[in-house]
Amino acid sequence: MTHAKCIYVVDDDDEIRTLLKTYLEKHQFTVLTADSGEAFLADVKNHSDIDLVILDIMLPGQDGFSVCRSLRAHSQVPVIMLTANSDEMDRIIGLEIGADDYLAKPFNPRELLARIKAILRRMEHSEVVEMSPVTHRFYRFAQFTLDTLSRELHFGDDKESLSGADYNLLMLFLTHPGAVLSRELIAENTRGRDSAPLDRFIDVHVSRLRQRLHEDARQPQLIKTIRGQGYILTANVEVISDVQ
């Protein structure tokens, strides 16, 4: 029997917490809640089975950005950020610090549910990739090595863990080296839905991945922009079974 996925809702609005808890439990999720970032960070250490976090940006005390940064220091659990601010900068900052998606308030619970399911499907697919034969565990390109089991990106003696969103985007490029990937294809494979015309998610996401690859923002060499078409990984990719 499959266990219910666990969602942690962090929002200081009692009505929203109650609404989401009731709605998500109706759709067979286990739901935990906290009314502040401090309460969430103190409690999350006691739960190793959390599958996704819904995190409000405008929290009392420690705001959602700070909470997300603290969470990313020890966990790669997917995060959907909620913002009541129409300013796109909130969304961009959230994505840059490691959030996997965002949703503006007020929102339709059905859209939130769809985004939750899309992210969880991608995570399950990633787990299948990780359990594939050992010959597909490591990907070498340029001066980097990606370990798909630990989701760590190695660069010389340095290494860093990748968030679910960054890992999925990098894997998309590594499995399609030399191919031009359209914004629509990237959106479909990393978000589970099409990219709206004015949605800057893909641009921010690619920019964040470039930073992890130590790219010059003005003259990127590994992931290049093909004007009007999309993005391309220019490096050769080697699939190996072990790190020498």
Question: Could you report the per-residue pLDDT of 116-133, keeping only the tens digit for each?
Answer: 988 888 776 554 444 343
Closest CA to 82 of 210, 233, 63: 63
In this structure, of 60-74, 116-130, 201-215, the range with the lowest mean pLDDT score is 116-130
In this structure, of 156-160, 168-172, 200-204, the range with the lowest mean pLDDT score is 200-204
State the pairing for strand pair 138-141/144-147: antiparallel
* Separation CA 130–CA 126 (nearest Å): 6
Asked if 104 and 90 count as a contact pair (C-beta separation under 8 A), the reply is no
Q: What are the chain's domains?
A: 6-128 (3.40.50.2300), 132-240 (1.10.10.10)
**Using alpha carbons only, what angle is made at residue 72 by residues 56 and 35, rounded to the nearest 5 degrees?**
30
* Separation CA 165–CA 119 (nearest Å): 9
How does residue 197 score in pLDDT terms, banded at 50, 70 and 90?
A: very low
* Separation CA 224–CA 235 (nearest Å): 10
- For residue 94, what pLDDT is reported? 74
Closest CA to 85 of 68, 70, 71, 65: 65
pLDDT per residue over 183-195, tens digit each? 878 877 776 544 4
pTM of the predicted protein model: 0.61
Provide CB contacts within 8 A for 104, sequence distance 6+: 82, 83, 84, 86, 91
- Residue 62 confidence (pLDDT) above 90: yes
Q: Could you tell me the sign of the dihedral formed by the alpha carbons of 127, 130, 131, 133, in that order? A: positive
* DSSP 8-class letter at 136: G
